Amino acid sequence: MKRLFITALIINLSYASTYEEVIQLATQRATDIKLSEEDIKKIEYQIKEAKSNLYPSLSITGSYTRWDPNYISGFTPKNQYNAKLTLSQTIFDQSIFETLNIAKKSLKLQNATKENVKINVIDTARRLYYDALYKKSVLKQKEENLKYWQENLKLVENKYQVGQVAKYDYMTAKAQYQSAISDLELAKANYEKSIIELKRFLFKEDLTPPEGELSKIDYNLDEDFDKLLEENPDIKVLKEQIAVQDSQIKLEEVANNPTVSFQANYQTNNIMKFPQNEEAWKKGYNFNISANMVIFDGFKKDSRVMQAKIDKTKYNIQLEDKKNSVKAQIKEALQDLNALQKQIDANKANLEASEEALRLSTERYKVGVANIVELLQSKSNYETAKLNYLTSIYSYNLRLFDLMKLIGK
165 and 180 fall within a common domain: yes
Write the DSSP string, 333-378. Answer: HHHHHHHHHHHHHHHHHHHHHHHHHHHHHHHHHHTTSS-HHHHHHH
CB atoms within 10 A of CB 145: 21
Residue where one domain finishes, among candidates 292, 317, 339 = 292
What CA–CA distance (Å, rounded) separates 11 from 333? Answer: 25
64 and 100 fall within a common domain: no
281 and 200 fall within a common domain: no
What CA–CA distance (Å, rounded) separates 397 from 214? Answer: 10
Determine the pLDDT at residue 188: 92
Of the candidates 264, 323, 254, the one whose C-alpha atom is nearest the C-alpha of residue 294 is 254
Write the DSSP string, 255-294. Answer: TTS-EEEEEEEEEEEEEEETTTTEEEEEEEEEEEEEEE--
Contact 289, 91 (CB under 8 A): yes
74 and 146 fall within a common domain: no
What CA–CA distance (Å, rounded) separates 34 from 114? Answer: 9
369 and 314 fall within a common domain: yes
Contact 4, 219 (CB under 8 A): yes
What CA–CA distance (Å, rounded) separates 194 from 187? Answer: 11
76 and 121 fall within a common domain: no
213 and 263 fall within a common domain: no
105 and 233 fall within a common domain: yes
Query: What is the per-residue pLDDT across 294-350, written as a single tens digit (0 to 9) for each?
Result: 888 788 888 888 988 898 899 899 989 988 888 888 888 888 988 999 999 999 899
Of the candidates 186, 287, 236, the one whose C-alpha atom is nearest the C-alpha of residue 407 is 236
Query: What is the per-residue pLDDT across 140-185, written as a single tens digit (0 to 9) for each?
Result: 888 888 888 888 888 888 878 888 778 887 888 888 889 889 989 9
Tally the domains of the chain: 2
CATH number of domain containing 337: 1.20.1600.10
188 and 281 fall within a common domain: no
Query: What is the per-residue pLDDT across 251-304, written as a single tens digit (0 to 9) for each?
Result: 888 888 888 888 999 999 888 777 667 788 888 999 899 988 888 878 888 888
110 and 205 fall within a common domain: yes
80 and 110 fall within a common domain: no
Residue where one domain finishes, among candidates 234, 267, 292 = 292
Contact 336, 322 (CB under 8 A): no
Model confidence, pTM: 0.76
The residues, any chain, with a CB within 8 Å of residue 305's CB and separated by 6 or more, are 249, 252, 253
205 and 237 fall within a common domain: yes
Residue where one domain finishes, among candidates 245, 274, 292 = 292
Contact 360, 340 (CB under 8 A): no
**Residue numbers of the domain that contains 265:** 57-92+259-292
